[in-house]
Amino acid sequence: MAIHPIEFRYGTPEMRAVWTEENRFACIVRAEMALARAAADFGLVPPVAAGVIEQNAGKARLSRAKEIEAAIDHDMMAMVKAIAEVCGEAGGWVHYGATSNDILDTATGLQLAESLELIDAKMHTLLAALLKRSMATRRLVCAARTHGQIGVPTTYGLRFAIWAAEVGRHLDRLRELKPRVAVGQLTGAVGTQAALGEKGMEIQARMMEILGLGAVEVSNQIISRDRYAEYFMFLAGVATTLDKIGIALRTLQRTEIGEVEEAFGKKQVGSSTMPHKRNPIKSEQVCGLARVVRSSVEPALANNTLWDERDLTNSSCERVLFPEATILTDHIIRLMTGVIEGLTLREENIRKNLFLLHGVTMAESVMIGLTRKGMDRQLAHEIVREASMEALAKKEPLDEVLARNKEVTACLSRDEIRELLDPDRYIGTAVEQVERLDRKLKERYLKA
């Protein structure tokens, strides 16, 4: 019976598959096979035995390992015995020179490598969706907001570009952290490699070469958890970017603003009692699950502060953290990509909101125009501020208020005032910034 929502509600099939018990066991088997081959290459295990292990270890079954564990109460040793059973006499060489976490942490490295490949691909897809939106809307002028209040104009293209640039930085982080995270070890009970002899470092390097992982430089009984903490902080960073996008889209979909709308299916129901509702439920799901992903950071950091050469407090914690945070992050990347791709922009509302405040959103433009005509900047600020307050109080167009001010008309004609109040003329280099970023990120990440 399913209990956790990632078993039946959240998560992609491919990422769930990485963190199943079956795949974990398969990664452990792969690590044992690579250990046998590496040890044989340096004369510690008979080559014939290593060959038998490589050929037969894959026949071991998780169900058998669980039967053994029920009797001996040690999960790793149960798996070693299950593997040894299918290897005949060669089974006596399984796990030679290793301690449990040499295999368990190396298996985690394999799972992390798989996970990062999936996340990397989905992040590229999200980036492409954001850049496509950014370029398509680079000249779509809209009201910007600071402190929740309408400010000077911006463009939707610049908004999408800001999110795309953030995703690009996460891809940079992914590239940088993967070599530190996707690693394995073969260092023995306390890190000295004593059971492997003088060739310990070479055997470890060979084992990881076979598995396609990096090798630790030094460790104690376990891989230092600062590596894994970095991984969880990366997931939390990605989740927070998605949360940021989700909050912005949810705000812009508010009835009073109505500038964007999540795709809404023809038969989709928004409320069990209010038939008219069209809720941003996917963005809300992203924002909600991002909180769970972020919550993994504190225990991940605490897992690096273990007693001496290690204790067991990290183990139970990580059994929950790795699958949950990874599967949920992968899920919300895919979910937000779909939101971006299906998003509807209500241009009539975008335009309406741009002119909502009788032109006062263009007050900065008028202030700059006055200073360019020679007026003191502070004086210009005060004149335009007072005019703006009057326009808001009387619900009168700002250009009419300004036209009655002799200090303003001494510097600016009525036509010049109207030009300065045109939001389409006051977006600076927004279009050029979008186009430059599009070229840069496509060249860096999306080049075929």
CA angle 40, 46, 48 (to 5 degrees): 100
| Confidence band of 271 (pLDDT split at 50, 70, 90) | low
Instruction: Name the catalytic one among 63, 74, 271, 413.
Output: 271
Instruction: Name the catalytic one among 147, 272, 276, 316.
Output: 147
Of 169 and 448, the structure prediction assigns the larger pLDDT to 169
| Confidence band of 273 (pLDDT split at 50, 70, 90) | low
pLDDT digits (tens, 9 = 90+) for 9-23: 999 999 999 999 999
362 in Cβ contact with 426 (< 8 Å): yes
Kindly state the average pLDDT of the residues 114-131: 98
pLDDT digits (tens, 9 = 90+) for 181-229: 999 999 999 999 999 999 999 999 999 999 999 999 999 999 999 999 9
Looking at residue 199, what is its pLDDT? 94
- CATH homologous superfamily of 355-425 equals Fumarase/aspartase (C-terminal domain) (1.10.40.30)
The DSSP secondary-structure symbol of 132 reads H
| Confidence band of 130 (pLDDT split at 50, 70, 90) | very high
Q: What is the DSSP string of 221-287?
A: SS--THHHHHHHHHHHHHHHHHHHHHHHHHHHTSTTT--EE----TT--S-SS-TT----HHHHHHH
pLDDT digits (tens, 9 = 90+) for 61-110: 999 999 999 999 999 999 999 999 999 999 999 999 999 999 999 999 99
Residues of the chain with CATH 1.10.40.30: 355-425
pLDDT digits (tens, 9 = 90+) for 247-257: 999 999 999 99
In the predicted model, is pLDDT for residue 446 greater than 60? yes
In the predicted model, is pLDDT for residue 264 greater than 80? no
Quote the tokens at residue 369: 């125009």
Q: Say whether 276 is catalytic.
A: no
Q: Say whether 271 is catalytic.
A: yes
The candidate with the shortest Cα–Cα distance to 387, out of 417, 416, 423, is 417
Q: What is the DSSP string of 302-350?
A: HTT--STT--SHHHHHHHHHHHHHHHHHHHHHHHHHHHHHH-EE-HHHH
Quote the tokens at residue 286: 């992203």
Question: What CATH number was assigned to the domain covering residues 5-45+96-134+154-351?
Answer: 1.20.200.10
Q: What percent of the chain stands above pLDDT 90?
A: 92
